[in-house]
Amino acid sequence: MSIALGLLAMVLVGADKPPATPPAEALSYRVRVLEMNGLDWRRDHYFGLRPAARQGAAAAWTASKEKAEALEQAAHRVLTAPQVLAAPGARAMFEHGAVRHYVAGLVRDVDGPEGRPVAVAYRPEVDQVRGTFRCVLSGRQAERGFLIRVAIDDTRLVGVHTVNVADEITDQDGKKQTMHPQLQVPEVVNSRAEGEWVVPAEETILVVSLGAHAIAEEAGQKAGLQERLVLIEPRLVAVPASGPIFPPIAQGRRVAPVMACPV
């Protein structure tokens, strides 16, 4: 089994042609994706969040920087993304993907006469499933802070289940045997959240929960519940005269390996 991780960040300009005069200011978005084990984080931090909206299993709050740091400390795993700059009103997007290979099927190879095999072998048919986290942002400064539009689409592989399939064969002596080769079935969940919210100046950070889901037991990970939180921190910055639009990835605590590339 192999897992390939990658991160893609880009700025999508809303107009067909760039403006003749570049804006003097831009919106910078810092996005953090937190994986929380269980629901204890709600017990400890719920009343420190200000409700913004609910959409089915998803929910949104605003929070202070101090509360966001406390949530990050409580996270099982933290994925960080580059800070993306976009002109006010323009869209900024980043995408993070993980690929998992699994045994999707079996090819039965039989050696010997029809109905009386000498040997049976099973060749695995390996396929892959891709989990993708995509976040599209746009916003502008408002009277009370920032008006931010967010569209999140998250497809996650939460487990790979192993199945023993039965294959009854009759050998050359007429004896019946049952073989039990294994194949795998991936379990995938999809979560979405979309809306437009005001992030007050005194709160500064938007917190979006994509809902809780069960995770299967795998090596190094116990079965249980997991909830993914997305922290979005907008701020107004001066457009740099030169230098990269995509600053380096912050080196934080328990940060999963990612690769960033400007497009």
Measured CA to CA, the distance from residue 7 to residue 118 in angstroms comes to 50
DSSP 40: H
Check residue 174 and give its pLDDT.
78
Check residue 79 and give its pLDDT.
78
Cα-flanking dihedrals φ and ψ of residue 147, to 5°?
A: -100, 110
pLDDT, tens digit, for every residue of 201-215?
888 899 999 999 888
Residue 260 has pLDDT above 50, yes or no: no
Check residue 127 and give its pLDDT.
97
pLDDT, tens digit, for every residue of 238-248?
876 654 444 43
In a domain, 245, yes or no: no
In a domain, 138, yes or no: yes
Answer for the pair 144, 201: CB distance below 8 angstroms, yes or no. yes
Check residue 16 and give its pLDDT.
37
Token pair 């912050």: residue? 250
Domain assignment of residue 223, given as a range:
3-14+24-99+132-157+190-238
In a domain, 70, yes or no: yes
How many separate domains does the chain show?
Answer: 1
In a domain, 33, yes or no: yes
In a domain, 195, yes or no: yes
In a domain, 31, yes or no: yes
Residue 172 has pLDDT above 60, yes or no: yes
In a domain, 172, yes or no: no
Tokens of residue 134, six digits: 């995509």
| Average confidence (pLDDT) over 149-156 | 94
| Average confidence (pLDDT) over 228-235 | 94
Return the bridge partners of 36, or none: 227
Measured CA to CA, the distance from residue 46 to residue 25 in angstroms comes to 34
Check residue 196 and give its pLDDT.
94
In a domain, 204, yes or no: yes
| Average confidence (pLDDT) over 141-152 | 92
Residue 2 has pLDDT above 90, yes or no: no
Return the bridge partners of 103, or none: 126
